[in-house]
Every structure is written in C-alpha cells, then in structure tokens.
Amino acid sequence: MDSMQYVYVSPIHKPRRKAIIKRGTSATDYWAYCSEVGCDVWGTLLSMDSLCGEPVCLWLPAAYRTPGTSTYVQGVEVGVYYDGPLPEGFDVIELPEADYLMFQGQPFDEADYGQAIQFVENAADRYDPSVLGYVWSIRSPRIQLEPKGERGYIEFRPVQVHSQAMPSPSRSSLEL
C-alpha cells in the first residue's frame, strides 16, 4: 500500500427500508459470523434483489437484536413494502430513515484487503463528525459493503444532525 492514503467521507441519506438478515449467535465480526452460520450466506444474498445492488454486513444496535443473537449479521436492504419470500433461517427488520457518513478507502490490491479494512476503520474511529455538523448515532446499524479492491473498502457509520450544526459540505477527504 502507498505511504500516503486517503479516506473519502461523504454524507449519505438512506430512506426507511427493511433488511432481510441472517443472524448469528454471538458474532461481532465477519470471521466469527462465518464460523457460526457458514460462509455460504453471501451466495444466497447475492441471488436476492437489494436497494443498493449488493448484500451488506451490519453491526446491529441493541434495539434490533433478539436475545441470544449476534451483533454482526449479513443481509440485503429492500424496500419498506417488501413482503416477498424469505430464505429459510432469515429474518426481516425495519430500519428507519437515517443519515450516514460513508467512509471509502482507496483501491487496493486484493491481497491487502485486511490492511485496507483496518485503515478505513481506524480513520472512521478517529473521525470527528461535528466537522460536517453531525454526532454519532446509535439508532441505526453500522454498514459494511463487500471489500473490493477496485473500489476501495466502504463502510457507513450512522450519524444524526448536531443541534448546533452548520450546513455540511457534500464531500470531504481525510489525508492520513
């Protein structure tokens, strides 16, 4: 990876929607999730239509977890009026309209995916959302897209408008 890396930060608004998810039992990350439910969930999700065109991984706030289930889940976001079939073992949750900050790293070599994920997560952990007029929110899930080298790693962190906020710019960049 290059010595100078950038993480792009963009405010994103998501409408009210549903998510079709497969829960684990105690997973808080991808590897633990795969050991609990298997890695074939992704293939099922790829066969489903979704709002954003691809499956997502979610870290669910407590309000969306049921007893004995994991924080980390995989699923697809669908329209709020979706009432179609569910694959066996999947649940549906309704997610509110929400604002997010999208953190997108630079393209990376596939062999470096772990470093690319860690770099973006570290940048997001250190980012002060008040720069864009927000505070972090615990009302909506954190969202991860599949790490793909050609587009960079992408993660969405939920925010809400700060009561003392100024209007936010449409895009900013972190140089790290």
pLDDT at 65 over 90: yes
Q: Please give the average per-residue pLDDT across 57-76, as a whole number.
A: 96
176 compared with 38, residue with greater pLDDT:
38
pLDDT of 142-152, one tens digit each? 999 999 999 99
pLDDT the model gives residue 170? 47
pLDDT the model gives residue 164? 54
Of the pLDDT bands very low, low, confident and very high (cuts 50, 70, 90), residue 2 is low
The rounded distance, in Å, linking the Cα atoms of 89 and 160 is 32
pLDDT at 163 over 80: no
∠100-176-153 over CA atoms, to 5°? 50
Spell out a b/e string for 63-99, using b for 16 or more CB atoms within 10 Å of the CB, else e.
ebeeeebbbbbbbbbbeeebeeeeeeebeebebeebb
pLDDT of 75-127, one tens digit each? 999 999 998 889 999 999 999 999 999 999 999 999 999 999 999 999 999 99
pLDDT the model gives residue 9? 97
pLDDT at 155 over 70: yes
pLDDT at 176 over 80: no
pLDDT at 3 over 70: no
Of the pLDDT bands very low, low, confident and very high (cuts 50, 70, 90), residue 175 is very low
Q: What is the pTM of this model?
A: 0.87
CB 57 within 8 A of CB 74: yes
Torsion region of 158: left, alpha or beta (phi above 0 gives left; psi -120 to 50 gives alpha)? beta
Of the pLDDT bands very low, low, confident and very high (cuts 50, 70, 90), residue 168 is very low
